[in-house]
Structure 1
Amino acid sequence: MLSVQDLVVEFPAAGGRTVHAVSGVSLEVHRGETLGIVGESGCGKSTTARAMVMLRTPTSGMIEFDGTSLAGLRPKELRRLRPHLQMIFQDPVSSLNPHRKVRDIVAEGMTVWGRPVTEEWLDALLSEVGLEPDEVKDRYPSEFSGGQCQRIAIARALALEPELLVCDEAVSALDVSVQAQVLNLLHDLKERRGLTMVFISHDLAVVRNVCDRVAVMYLGKVVEETTVDALFARPHHPYTSALLEAVPEPDPTLPVLPLELYGEAPSPLDPPSGCRFRTRCRHAQDICATEEPPLLTVADQHKVACHFAEDMPELLALPTMTA
């Protein structure tokens, strides 16, 4: 459904410098699946998501939706495709207009496109996302909790019956109990409406429960991409392994082991040469500083950007020394 090839997004910075937010990302989103994009803050996840739906104009690269190149479309042509690609944002409160009632927020897309809006349609849509229509549609966003606001945002995104739904950290601002409710809602909506989803998150536990495939990003690059089961069972990149190690285990009797990851992430203003992860990798060698590892297939549906990808699972299994 969606194909991203060699996506580059850069921003100008003070002193004539450039922020390399996304550098050569290639991804494919297949119809009916949920693709997760994970990584620590600042790795380019949200910028990639926004570029996918052309909320951020790419510096270069190709984005195709159902075979149509989005980057080359004129504004009017792109506007015709907008109903098919919708986005749910991270902060549910600030993404809603505080001066408009819920009924107007949810129906705005229908109004823009001149489609009929009836009370029956509005009530059905609000009920579908778990809200009581008579209690919410004539009130303002400030009167609701974060979880309720996110349900309103989901209803707004679904109003035009999109084919692709991009969720940018859609549950990270919510309490854990509310997160579970919203995730269950998204899963039910996907099954009921046949949606295709891109799910951006830094929470691997969430990604494991909602996604079919996962792409791991580090400093603007995809370093590993595979199915959820393969990623958790046998990671081939040291950064992926470090993310998995950092997931807390609710067992105080388990020993605290040294993490694979150490140091601070470099600035996207001046990314390292060669492999961008080499400055934090315990397994880096000379080639890592001089040659950038390509994203290559090492197994079925498993791509890794590491010079030592085939040997890395065994290396990661060895005990490591503290930094």
Structure 2
Amino acid sequence: EEEIRKIPELTFFYNLDDEEGLQSSDTDIYINKCSECIPKSSIIPYARNTIRNYFRYKEHMNSSSHSKYCRYLKYWLYRERYKFSVNNHMKSDSWDKCLPCVWKKLKDSHSNSGNICNWNNEKYPKAIINMRAYLDEFCSIKEYLNTKYTLVSDVDRCLYYNKKRNHYIKYILKYMASISGITEFIPSYFTLDENCSFSNFDKTFPEITCQSDCTTCNREPLVAKAEALCSSTESEPEPRTDVPDEIEDEHAISNCSSTGIFLSSTITLLITVLVFFILYRFSPFGSWLYNRLRKQNKSLKNLNDEINGNISEFPLKFIERNDENMRHYIGYEAQ
């Protein structure tokens, strides 16, 4: 876990909340350029954090991974905005006035000398921000492990990758399920780049079969059991109890494959649920299915009301006449 925290872009992301360099005089230069940032107001600490973190982003703005650093900085910004609105709900407009001005001054400070990180100050739902951040984190971990190690043959890191994969899928689904039904969904919400997107789930969340798992299967108990079944005495030669290699191999494979089959079935079920959830919530098919079921429900209700109405209008006399006709009489003959 410590190794993962040292992935450069994740280290950058995890340290955005520290307090180092917040009192630098450089931060005051940008704040003083924006009259919208009222001195000593509750927005000033947020402005200082933003300026300090933008300086950190500038150290990576010309790297090949600049887009990742930009996204992580924006995740932090959106979370800060949500935090400010909760703690200062009576002054929420202070953010909209001050922070965009500070951000513009920061971008103007380096002209066109590096890659620009655009931030639009939109009010995205918190669940979408968290979902994208988790997706980005997983893709960073996956890329790091695949680049540095051969996961198929490195059993420990292969198992660690699959564990992380299941963990992130679980929480991404949790955040997706918490998104309000009235939220407008934009395809870009679920796409970070061509290798990190819900539109290509299998490529983004590949399950790796750890081929070295079977080295942990203990074959000795099988041999020991076979030896125990063959009793021997001092007067008799001890019979051979060697187990053929083919049987040992078959036993080892069956032990490993049962765990693999269970894990594979569980992951397949999760993926299937996710795919159907995405289709129902975010595709035209979901809207069509919802409208069709709603129409069928309405038709059944109307039919039921019509049947109940017809029954209530059925002539009462006809019912009584039928009751009279159905009465049975017992004759009596005097003797």
TM-score when normalising by structure 1:
0.31
Higher relative contact order (CA closer than 8 Å, sequence separation 6+): 1
**Larger strand percent:** 1
**Larger helix percent:** 2
